[in-house]
Chains A and B, each alone.
Chain A
Amino acid sequence: MKKVLAFTIMMHFVAAPAYAMHISEGLLPLNWAALWFAVAAPFVVLGVRRLNTLAKDDLAMKPLVGLLAAVVFIVSCMPIPVPTAGTCSHPCGTGIAAILAGPLIGVVISTVSLLLQALFLAHGGLSTLGADIVSMGVVGSFAGWFVFRGLRSVGTSLALAAFFAGLATDWGTYLTTSAELAAGIRGTAPFWPLATKIALAFVPTQLPLGILEGAMTAGMVTLLQRKRPDLLVKMGVVKESKVAHA
Chain B
Amino acid sequence: MHYALHRPERADNFLNRLDGRVKLLVVLVLLPMILSCRGFVFPLLVGALSVSSCLRLGVRPRHLLLRFAQPLLFAAAVFLFKMFTPGAAPLFSLSVWGITLIGYADGLVAGGLIACRITGAVSLAALLGFSTTFTELLSALAWFRLPPALIEVALFAWRYLFLLYDDAMVVYGAQKNRLGYVGYRQGLRSFGTLAGAMVIKAFDSSQTITTAMAQRGYDGTTPLRQQPLRKQELAAASLVVALLGVFWHV
* Interface set of A (CB-CB < 8 Å, partner B): 2-3, 5-7, 10-11, 14-15, 17-19, 22-30, 33, 44-45, 48, 51-52, 55-56, 59-60, 62-71, 73-75, 77-78, 80-81, 83, 93, 96, 100, 108-109, 111-113, 115-116, 118-123, 125-127, 185, 187, 189, 212, 215-224, 227-228, 231
CB of A119 within 8 A of CB of B137, answer yes
CB of A227 within 8 A of CB of B153, answer no
CB of B199 within 8 A of CB of A56, answer no
User: What residue of chain B has the Cβ atom nearest to residue A100's Cβ?
Assistant: B199
CB of B150 within 8 A of CB of A26, answer no
Residues of chain B lying within 8 A (CB to CB) of residue A224: 196, 199-200
CB of B196 within 8 A of CB of A223, answer yes
How far apart sit A32 and B154, CA to CA, in the bound complex (Å)? Answer: 26
Known contacts A27-B118, A125-B121, A64 near B164 by CB under 8 Å: no
CB of B48 within 8 Å of the partner chain: no
Known contacts A219-B188, A223-B196, A51 near B4 by CB under 8 Å: no
Residues of chain B lying within 8 A (CB to CB) of residue A93: 195
CB of A27 within 8 A of CB of B81, answer no
How far apart sit A153 and B59, CA to CA, in the bound complex (Å)? Answer: 53
CB of B82 within 8 A of CB of A185, answer yes
Give the Cβ gap from A88 to chain B, nearest Cβ, in Å. 12
Judged by DSSP, the binding face of A is helix
* Pairs across A and B, CB under 8 Å, 29 listed: A6-B99, A7-B81, A7-B84, A11-B77, A14-B80, A18-B77, A19-B70, A23-B74, A25-B125, A26-B114, A26-B120, A27-B117, A30-B35, A59-B218, A60-B207, A68-B199, A69-B153, A70-B164, A71-B164, A73-B157, A73-B161, A74-B161, A81-B187, A108-B153, A126-B27, A219-B192, A220-B192, A231-B200, A231-B203
CB of B122 within 8 A of CB of A25, answer yes
Known contacts A119-B137, A122-B125, A220 near B199 by CB under 8 Å: yes
How far apart sit A193 and B187, CA to CA, in the bound complex (Å)? Answer: 37
CB of B243 within 8 Å of the partner chain: no
CB of B99 within 8 A of CB of A33, answer no
Known contacts A6-B99, A26-B35, A220-B196, A64 near B121 by CB under 8 Å: no
How far apart sit A6 and B206, CA to CA, in the bound complex (Å)? Answer: 50
CB of B247 within 8 Å of the partner chain: no
Interface size class of B (residues with CB under 8 A): 35 or more
How far apart sit A230 and B137, CA to CA, in the bound complex (Å)? Answer: 37
Residues of chain B lying within 8 A (CB to CB) of residue A71: 164, 195, 198-199, 202
CB of B210 within 8 A of CB of A219, answer no
Which residue of A26, A33, A56, A64 has the most chain B CB atoms within 10 A of its CB atom? A26
CB of A66 within 8 A of CB of B156, answer yes
Residues of chain B lying within 8 A (CB to CB) of residue A6: 96-97, 99, 101
Give the Cβ gap from B189 to chain A, nearest Cβ, in Å. 6
Task: Select which of B85, B149, B199, B214 is within 8 A of A62 by beta carbon.
Answer: B149
